Every structure is written in structure tokens, then in C-alpha cells.
Amino acid sequence: MFSIREVKKNARVDLKRNFFRNVLIVFMVGLITQGGYRFATDTRTALQQRASEIVTSTAPDQLRNLPGNLKAAGVDLSGNLSDSLGAIASKKTNFEILEDLVLSQDLFPVHLNPETTTEKYTRGVLSVFVNEATSSGSMTFGILNGINEIVFHGHVTRSVIIFLMAVLTAFVFIFVKNVLQVGLKRYFLEHRRYLDTSADRIFHVYRVGKTLNVAKIMLLRYIRALLWMLTIVMGPVKYYEYRMIPYILAENPGISEADAFALSRQLTDGEKWRMFCLDWSLLGWRLLGLVTFNLTSVFYLRPYLETIHAELYMQLKEAKRAELVNGKQIDDAELNLPSPVASSYPEEQYLTSPLAERQWLMIREAEQRYSPTTYILFFFTFSFVGWVWEVSLHLAENGEFVNRGVLLGPWLPIYGFGGVLILLLLRPLRNRPWLLFLGSVAVCGTIEYFTAVFLEIVYHQEWWNYDGYFLNFQGRICLEGLLVFGLGGVAFTYVFAPILNNIYAWLSAGARRGICICLILLFVIDAVHSAFHPNVGEGITTVTETEANESI
């Protein structure tokens, strides 16, 4: 039987080594798997969140009786919320139920009753950034109801959009979120003994070419746990029984489904109550997250949990090594050295060897200098990704496609300039992550603030406004956004820029120059045109208060 005190003590030691890198790794995986900070940090009240969980996990024909059942169980429902639950059951079409189910995903959160939410802190960015909760089967219902609407009800346009959202959500959940979670476990397993563990370990499963196997086993784990939850009693038991599967896959991504489930069962046999107590021993940290708008969760609890679970896995494996059936499948002695070393894990010792053609997923030295053409490509890549991000957020929030930004083309130069300036101006700070983080906050905050001022003065329009965000300044910048930009700047420097540089290296020098020239010409034409005819309108801009008063 493992010691809770020893697990937590060792985990804290592991966390303190390269603390900022550990926070950043968890942040990046949350960024990728949660589909952007605005959706991953939605701050609903506890009552609304619980109501949403009830709605999305209950069959439509059972929803009508929910208000009465909840009141009978002692839950105090407001009139508005009670009416909302009844309305969902009695008035909504299959399409609208589908829309609720799809929007209930982590990527597309829904508010049942936004009027009851306090105004001041409801538009947050950081409060629950790395929320690991997933939906309870609504992807399947979403796809089925999408087909139902398309075939039988004729709402082709909206149904296609929602159907595609459901398919995209399912794809991200199966092949991105689940797989990167295994990669995250791999990083912390290696970091436990290798202090120079690279952030590219989060892509470990993709590098070794076992994506389909890992995705299949993680999906089966999710489905089985969901089905066991229907029995109520066995649900928590199976939750802890399956807890070690991601770590088993992280150690050996090529393991079979049967062996993965069997080994997890053996590792947790007789330990489930202690695992439950370990989880509850962290209640204080979870409560602290509530009163700090989850700042402590982002900057401490989430990475702390990762080091705790990695330490728990290694202790369970070591204690039960002799009795494990097929234990050789997870017998990587290199992961359990007697003491930490300053180097990185020797890749030749992987139980599943990396593929040569996946070397571009490796992060080379972040200190390297980039060529002028590479910086130009960085600018347009960051600008395009920023545009896709903003457009996707608006599409998911409002159900309509809007070309975000001042320019007409698919780019938001504020993202491009921010990323490139961080790489150029803050290069001397690359070996000091905390200073790089603060520098990124300063660079991004300066760019965002003065860009907003310039646009408001010249065009009398606002392309963004942070009024209602916690600690915002004149609605042009806010604390939470700047913290996210700071972490994003560090991520650009240590992870995304090196990987993008690997991808650009596939092109010849001539091809890179040609692409840069074409992009610059298109951008200049767009910028000149937009200077006289900026991209404005509903969903893009709002008229500033000064201009509105003048018009009156």
C-alpha cells in the first residue's frame, strides 16, 4: 500500500524542478485540447454548471420531470432555471436539443440562464483554464440528431453546421485530446527522473506512430467508464481501476487493449480507497482555486496533480512488479532511476521506437537564430492561426461566420507582430523562462493597448472590448488576457517556433523566398485597401462612445 504523504512529498519535489516549464506544459496541452482560452475558461456559477451537466447527461424524454425531481431532492431551483429545464424538455425541437448537446462540449460551452450570473467576473479567460472534464456522451447524440435533422426536417444549413461541429468535436476528443493527455503523462514520467525533459514529449504518441492504438484504447476507457457510471455503485470503482491506463500507454503506446486494462486493474487492486483519499486530501487546493478565480489551479494545482499521478503510478508499479501478469510490457527501468539526472531520457530505450519521418515533432535548441524568411513565415503563420482562432470562437459562440479583424484577408497581424517581437526582442531571456514570461506580457500588452487606441482614434470603432473582465484597463487590455498571452509567448518560443521551423525546412530556400514575396504583396495590397475601407460591421466592431455621442 502506497503512502499518501510520500507520494505528495515526492510530487512537490518533482514539481519544483523546472516549475515554470511544468506549468507551461500543462497550459499548452490545455490550450490545444480545450480549443482556445475563452471556451476553456468559461466561468458559470456552480448552479448553472450543475444544471448544464444534468441536461446534457439526461435523455430528452426524461428532462420534463427534472425540475420536480430536483426540488424533491432538496435542490433549490430559481424560477428561471426551472422554466429553462422544462422548456428544454417540452418545447425544443430535435435540432435545438442537438445544438445544446454539441454546445455543451468543452469546446462549445452553453449558458442555460446567463441573466443570473454576476456581471463582474463572468467574462473570464483564466479561471478554469485546464478543465479536464469531458462531456457525457453528447457527441454520439449530436451526430445522430444531426443526421435526423438533415434527413427528416429539412433544416439543412444549420443542421450541417451543427453536425460538422459534432464530428469535429468527436475527432478532437478522440485523436487530439485523449492522445495529448497520454503525451502529457509521458512528459511527467520522464521529468520525474530526467531534469532536461523536452516539451516535445507531449507529442510522444504521434512520434512513435501509435496514434490509432492509443486513441482506440482511450476511447474504450471513456466509454466503459461512462457505462459503469450508469450502475452508480460500480462507477467510482471502475474510475479508479482505469486510472493508470493513460500512464501505461505513455510508457508503452503499442500495448494491446486487453493488457492495458488488465495491468491497470492489477496496479490498482487493493489501492482504490487510498487513491480516493489522495484525491480528497487536495480539497483545500481546489477550494483555494474557487476563491482565486482558479489562478492557483493554473499556476499550481494542475501541474501538481500531474506530478502526483506520475509518482503514484511509479510507486504502484514498483510495489507490484513481482505480481504483475505481463508486467514486462511496462518494464522500462530507465524511468525509475535511483535519483534524478541532469540529462534527458535516452530515446533509444523507448519501448516503442520513434519514426524517422516524425522527427519534425522534435524541439531542437530554442536558442537557435532564425533567418529573415523564417521570421516572415512566422509572422504570417501566427497571423493566420490568430484569425482562425478568432473566427472559430465567434462561430461557436454565435453560430455565424464572421471575418474578424481590420483587414479583409485571413490574417490578424496583431498576433503575427506579437509572436515575432517576442522571438526577436526577448531572445536574451530564452534561458530565463520567468523573465521571458514577464517580457511577453509586456510586449503583448503594449501592442494590444496601443493598437486599440490607434484604431479607436482613426476609425472610431472598437474591434475588442474587455469591459466586464477582471482587472481590465479601459476595456483595452485585461490581466487574465495578458497572463494567457505571456504563457503563449513562452509557448511560441520553446515549442511552436522550433516545430514550425522544422516544417519550413522541408521547403527549399528559393521556395521560402517566393512564398514570402507573394504573402508580403498580398498583405500590402490588403493593408492599403483596408486603410480606406476597414473591415467593420456586426460581430466585428462596435462604435466607440465618443462617436456615438457625436452622431446624436
Q: What was the pLDDT predicted at 34?
A: 62
* Owner of C-alpha cell 452553453: 110
| Neighbouring residues of 509: CB distance < 8 A, sequence distance ≥ 6 | 373
- Maximal C-alpha separation, the chain: 82
Question: Contact at 8 Å (CB) between 42 and 35?
Answer: no
User: Apex CA 44: angle with CA 41 and CA 50, to 5°?
Assistant: 115
Q: Please tell me the distance from the alpha carbon of residue 507 to that of residue 500, in angstroms, as a whole number.
A: 12
Helix (H) or strand (E) holding 472: strand 472-473
Q: Which cell is 487 given?
A: 504563457
Cβ atoms 43, 66 nearer than 8 A:
no
Residue 226's contacts (CB-CB under 8 Å, 6 or more residues apart) are 136, 137
- Alpha helices (runs of H) in 399-496, residue ranges in sequence order: 413-425, 433-459, 479-491
Question: What pLDDT score was predicted for residue 144?
Answer: 46
Residue 456 three-state SS: helix
Write the pLDDT tens digit of every residue in 493-526.
Answer: 888 888 898 889 889 999 999 999 999 999 999 9
CA distance 227 to 316: 26
Block mean pLDDT (10 aa), the chain, length 552: 92 92 84 50 38 46 50 48 45 43 38 37 35 36 47 51 71 90 95 90 92 96 92 90 96 95 96 94 89 80 95 94 89 90 90 82 70 94 87 70 83 90 89 87 91 86 76 80 83 86 90 95 92 79 58 48
Calculate the CA 500 to chain-centre distance: 20
Residue with cell 503506446: 253
- What is the predicted pLDDT for the residue at 364? 64
Residue carrying C-alpha cell 448552479 = 47
In whole angstroms, what separates CA 26 from the centre of its chain? 9
Query: What is the reported pLDDT for 456?
Result: 87
Q: Supply the pLDDT for residue 38.
A: 37
Q: How do residues 415-439 score in pLDDT, each as one tens digit?
A: 999 999 999 998 888 878 888 889 9
- Cell 514486462, residue? 328
C-alpha 179/C-alpha 202 separation (Å) is 9
For residue 61, the SS3 value is helix
Contact 414, 550 (CB under 8 A): no
The secondary structure element, H or E, covering residue 145 is: helix 138-152
Listed in sequence order, the residues at least 6 apart from 50 whose beta carbon sits closer than 8 Å to its beta carbon are: none
Helix H or strand E encompassing 473: strand 472-473
Among 530, 539, 540, which Cα is nearest to 408's?
530
Work out whether strand 477-478 and strand 542-543 pair parallel, antiparallel, or are unpaired.
unpaired
Distances (CA, A) of 15 to 106, 259, 363, 433, 526: 27, 30, 22, 15, 47
- The grid coordinates of residue 462 equal 472598437
Q: What is the DSSP string of 345-387?
A: --GGG-SSPPPGGGGGGS---TT----HHHHHHHHHHHHHHHH
Report DSSP state, residue 321. Answer: G
Q: Say what the pLDDT of residue 155 is.
A: 47
Direct distance between the N- and C-terminal alpha carbons of the chain, in angstroms, rounded to an integer: 75
Place of cell 519534425: 360
Sign of CA dihedral 112, 118, 122, 123: positive
| Count of Cβ atoms closer than 10 Å to residue 533 Cβ | 9
- pLDDT of 173 reads 87
pLDDT of residue 212: 96
Distance CA 220, CA 214 (A): 10
> Which class for 241: exposed (0-12), middle (13-18), buried (19 or more C-beta within 10 A)?
buried
C-beta separation of 352 from 208 below 8 A = yes
pLDDT at 150: 47
Residue 404 to residue 231: CA distance in whole angstroms: 47
Kindly give, in sequence order, each residue whose CB lies less than 8 Å from that of residue 398, ignoring residues fewer than 6 positions away. 539
Burial class of residue 5, CB neighbours in 10 A (0-12, 13-18, 19+) = exposed
